[in-house]
Homo-oligomer: A and B are copies of this chain.
Amino acid sequence: MTAEQRTEAAGGPCRRIRLTVAYDGTAYNGWQYQPNGVTIEETLNRALSLLTGEKTEVIGASRTDAGVHARCNYAVFDTRMRMDASKFAYALNQRLPEDIRVRRSEEVALDWHPRRCRSIKTYEYLIYNDEFPDPLNRLYAQFVYSHPDVGKMQQAAAYLVGEHDFKSFCSIHTQAESTVRTVTALTVEREGSLIRIRISGNGFLYNMVRIIVGTLLEAGNGKYPPERVAKILEARDRKAAGPTAPARGLTLVGYRFLQEEPR
Residues in chain A within 8 A of chain B (CB atoms): 22-24, 69, 71, 89, 93, 98-103, 131-136, 138, 140, 251
Contact = CB atoms under 8 A, between A and B. Distances in A.
A132 B102 contact: yes
16 contacts: A22-B134, A22-B135, A22-B136, A24-B135, A24-B136, A69-B136, A71-B136, A98-B133, A98-B135, A100-B135, A101-B132, A101-B133, A101-B135, A102-B132, A103-B131, A103-B132
- 3 A-B pairs with least C-beta separation: A24-B135, A99-B135, A103-B132
Given A23-B135, A101-B133, A103-B132, 11 more contacts: A22-B135, A24-B136, A69-B135, A69-B136, A71-B134, A71-B136, A89-B132, A99-B135, A99-B138, A103-B131, A136-B251
A39 B102 CA distance: 34
A93 B133 CA distance: 10
Contacts of A136: 22, 24, 69, 71, 140, 251
A157 B24 CA distance: 34
- Number of copies of this chain that the complex holds: 2
Contacts of A103: 131-132
A211 B160 CA distance: 51
A89 B130 CA distance: 14
Contacts of A99: 135, 138
A248 to B, nearest CB: 11
B24 A138 contact: yes
A132 B140 CA distance: 20
Contacts of A71: 134, 136
Nearest to A21: B135
A185 B23 CA distance: 35
A140 B136 CA distance: 8
Contacts of A93: 132-133
Contacts of A24: 135-136, 138
Nearest to A71: B136
A134 B260 CA distance: 27
A260 B69 CA distance: 45
A192 to B, nearest CB: 13
Contacts of A69: 135-136
